[in-house]
């Protein structure tokens, strides 16, 4: 999985915002606000990675149980797929 072209992640006033570029910019539904963990996973998805690698990266970066990390990654990936970002 990898983030599609046409999206950037910006930090604004302490929050992380995904902004569509080009023609996608007119569709405000594609904009997303992410927390720190979501921004971390977004950065990981700039390269093609399977969910297992995302879980491993989350475990290496944060003090979290493997089951919690796996659930969070799965939900995050699902939301990105629903918004057609992956």
The pLDDT assigned to 9 comes to 87
Predicted pLDDT of residue 24: 55
Neighbour-count burial for 7-38, b at 16+ CB within 10 Å, e otherwise: bebeeeeeebebebeeebeeeeebebebeebb
- Residue 30: predicted pLDDT: 62
- The tens-digit pLDDT sequence of the chain (86 residues) is 898 888 888 888 778 888 777 665 555 566 788 999 999 999 999 999 999 999 999 999 999 999 999 999 999 999 999 888 88
């Amino acid at each position: 999985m990898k983030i599609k072209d046409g999206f950037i992640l910006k930090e604004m006033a302490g929050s992380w915002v995904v902004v569509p570029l080009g023609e996608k910019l007119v569709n405000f539904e594609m904009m997303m606000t992410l927390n720190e963990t979501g921004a971390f996973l977004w950065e990981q998805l700039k390269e093609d990675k399977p969910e297992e690698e995302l879980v491993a990266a989350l475990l290496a970066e944060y003090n979290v149980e493997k089951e919690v990390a796996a659930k969070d990654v799965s939900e995050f990936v699902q939301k990105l797929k629903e918004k057609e970002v992956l």
